[in-house]
Amino acid sequence: MKNNYGWVVVAAGALMGCVAIGSLFSLAVFLQPMSEATGWSRTGISSAMTLDFLTMGVAAFGWGALTDRFGPRIVVLSGGLLLGLGIALASRATSLLQFQLLYGVVVGAAAGAVFAPTIATVTGWFEKHRSLAVSLVSAGMGVAPLTISPFASWLIQTYDWRTAQLCIAILAWILLVPTALLVRRPPMLEAKSGIAETAAAGPGMTVRQALSSTQFIVLAATFFCCCATHSGPIFHTVSYAIACGLAPLTAVTIYSAEGLAGLVGRLVFGLSGDRFGAKRTLVVGLLIQAAGAGAYFFARGLDQFYAVALVFGMAYGGVMPLYAVIAREYFPMRIMGTVFGAAAMVSSLGMALGPVIGGWIYDTTGNYGWLYIGSFGMGLGAVAIALAFPPFPSRQPLAQPA
């Protein structure tokens, strides 16, 4: 790809992902002060996060379709404006239900306008370094808990929770709105480079044909099982470590270790995807992820938790960007937003399952053992499904006109 502007889109996507996802997940920092100040239950406040996952997934499909029709700039700009508005209104909520709807639905829908559209757009800007480019955008989202959450914690110590959330809303507007203007629709690579869309992903392929194709079904099913594998361990491992006797502040560092490992994994797997192929890299990553999820079952001491967290975090962080790369190999760019948005919607259902099922397992059995055993099995299922990916269609040069 000769046009270097693609890297500007990557940088913009990484920043927007960091701000949007970081603002969304900052709710964990607000949980205790909000509960103490309002009397709302922690379960009730946390349920807004479940609504976020579900809404973000459904919205990603709609935003993706709008991206294909109108281009990514207006979509991510709308999402940035809506994100700040949702958080600002949520900070003024006077009832738990009002907060759940504003934060769980409005903010979740806004975040969906950033994730799928930016990832899908970046895949159209690159041929040679596509896996790395997508991974860098994803890395911006991965660093979100290390940036916005500490900022939110500082705000809460200085102000009340309502003022703190309002400040985050204003920050989101300041950063997202001008950055959104840098995002552009990718050039028509096929027309300019002489590379044709293949029969499998040809110009005549409709959205209905794409969403009913074998390659999409395998992609979405793998994505679902992958997210169902890691969502439970991500959400419950801190509680599990505390149950194993670790101090709460120490247990939280395990989550941080996962996050840092995920950043490294995005870069390693991105480079590997470009060198060895996205499908092969995905299968290896899914296998490592399954082993990491199962290994938590045997962890007891802090050193063991750290060792598992580094492997597990690198794997789940590394595989996530590869789904967009694989989708781009199968489907034409003009419907990429819709297709990847649909896949993201399915994956969000997997993300929503882990916290709920993990909580049910603990409430029923008194420990988290079956959560990690089940996650290991789900991870192996993701590997098995990924092995069913059809071959990538070959790309033949367009015949030169006489």
Instruction: Say whether both 243 and 309 belong to one domain.
Output: yes
Rounded to an integer, the average pLDDT of 97-103 is 92
Neighbours of 402 (CB within 10 A): 3
Instruction: Judge whether residue 194 has pLDDT over 60.
Output: no
Rounded to an integer, the average pLDDT of 240-245 is 86
Instruction: Say whether both 275 and 175 belong to one domain.
Output: no
Residue with tokens 């204003």: 170
Rounded to an integer, the average pLDDT of 233-258 is 81
The per-residue pLDDT for 286 is 96
Structural domain contains residue 191: no
Contacts for 96 with CB less than 8 Å, ≥ 6 apart: 38, 40, 41, 44, 45
Instruction: Judge whether residue 143 has pLDDT over 80.
Output: no
The per-residue pLDDT for 395 is 53
Instruction: Judge whether residue 191 has pLDDT over 70.
Output: no
Residues 52-62 pLDDT 10s? 888 888 888 88
Residues 317-366 pLDDT 10s? 889 889 988 988 888 888 888 888 889 889 888 887 887 788 788 878 88
How far apart, in whole angstroms, are the C-alpha atoms of residue 189 and residue 69? 18
SS3 136: helix
CA–CA distances in Å: residue 320 to residues 112, 153, 170, 238: 16, 28, 29, 22
- What average pLDDT does the structure give for the chain? 84
Token digits of residue 69? 């029709």
Instruction: Say whether both 274 and 377 belong to one domain.
Output: yes
Give the domain CATH number at 221. 1.20.1250.20
The per-residue pLDDT for 125 is 83
Q: pLDDT category, 188, cuts 50, 70, 90?
A: low
Instruction: Say whether both 354 and 247 belong to one domain.
Output: yes
Structural domain contains residue 114: yes
DSSP conformation class of 206: -
Contacts for 156 with CB less than 8 Å, ≥ 6 apart: 29, 30, 33, 164
Burial of 366 (0-12, 13-18, 19+ CB in 10 A): exposed
Instruction: Say whether both 321 and 247 belong to one domain.
Output: yes
Neighbours of 333 (CB within 10 A): 21
Instruction: Say whether both 178 and 211 belong to one domain.
Output: no
Instruction: Say whether both 220 and 328 belong to one domain.
Output: yes
Report how far Cα 144 is from the mean position of its chain's Cα atoms.
11
The per-residue pLDDT for 131 is 82
Residue 320 structural domain:
207-390
Max avg pLDDT among 23-27, 257-261, 279-283, 343-347:
279-283
**Burial code of 83-104, b = ≥16 C-beta within 10 A, e = fewer?**
bbbbbbbbbebeebeebbbbbb
Instruction: Say whether both 48 and 153 belong to one domain.
Output: yes
Instruction: Say whether both 180 and 232 belong to one domain.
Output: no
The per-residue pLDDT for 366 is 84
Is the pTM higher than 0.85? The answer reads: no
- Tally of domains in the chain: 2
Residues 30-46 pLDDT 10s? 877 888 888 887 778 77
Rounded to an integer, the average pLDDT of 18-22 is 87
Beta-ladder partners of 382: none
The per-residue pLDDT for 214 is 92
Instruction: Say whether both 246 and 363 belong to one domain.
Output: yes
How far apart, in whole angstroms, are the C-alpha atoms of residue 343 and residue 116? 9
How far apart, in whole angstroms, are the C-alpha atoms of residue 214 and residue 397? 25
